[in-house]
Amino acid sequence: MTRKALRVLMILSVVATMVPDSVNAQSLNFSLDVPYAFIVGDKELPAGRYTIHRSPLGLEDVLVIESADRKISQDFRMKIFLSKDSATENKKLIFAKYGDQHFLSQIWAISPLGKSTRYQINKAERELELEKKAKQDQSSSQPEIVSLVIK
């Protein structure tokens, strides 16, 4: 009996340590106004109101950005970086700006547990080309980092 109880307790403790990260990673759903056209994945989106949420298919590494009228929807891959620290900043989107082109680069969010979570968006092919050109040609413009705070 003691051995069985110990085994159940060990399983519960493993599950309990996994739940916070799972809750942290699963919670992302908000709307915002983006005042300029931007690129996510290989698609250029016009300025406007968008909702960003987890993939309805339950894919861990996919987010969806959707226009308010639902006419535009784009899935994109990302990596999740979870922090053990309490969030100290508001939610925000980070763009890499090359000239007049804005590329969605990161999403900073706050989990239901109050922890900071950063979603690193996989770079579009066009952004990779501009990044390579900027490294090769010192006279080429380096990306400017632009933050858009979500209220």
Residues linked to residue 111 through DSSP beta bridges, in sequence order:
none
Q: Over pLDDT 90: what percentage of the chain?
A: 37
pLDDT at 93 over 60: yes
DSSP track, 67-116: ETTSS-EEEEEEEEEEEEEEP-S--EEEEEEETTEEEEEEEEEE-TTSEE
**Cα–Cα distance measured from residue 42 to residue 118, given in angstroms and rounded to the nearest whole number:** 21
Contact 61, 119 (CB under 8 A): no
pTM above 0.85, yes or no: no
Mean pLDDT, the chain, whole residue set: 80
> Domain-by-domain residue ranges, the chain?
2-149
Tell me the average pLDDT across 22-29. 54
* Amino acid letter for position 48: G
pLDDT in tens, 34-65: 999 999 988 999 999 999 998 888 788 899 99
Please write the tens of the pLDDT for every residue from 4-25: 644 544 443 433 333 333 443 4
* pLDDT (average), residues 73-80: 88
Considering only the C-alpha atoms of the chain, give the largest distance between any 2 of them, rounded to a whole number of Å: 74
Q: Is the pLDDT of residue 31 over 70?
A: yes
Q: Which two tokens stand for residue 94?
A: 């980070």
Asked if 61 and 78 count as a contact pair (C-beta separation under 8 A), the reply is yes
Strongest mean pLDDT among 9-13, 52-56, 111-115, 141-145: 52-56
Could you read off the pLDDT of 120-130 as tens digits, one per residue? 999 989 999 98
From the number of C-beta atoms within 10 Å of its C-beta (0-12, 13-18, 19+), residue 48 rates as middle
39 forms beta bridges with 44, 103
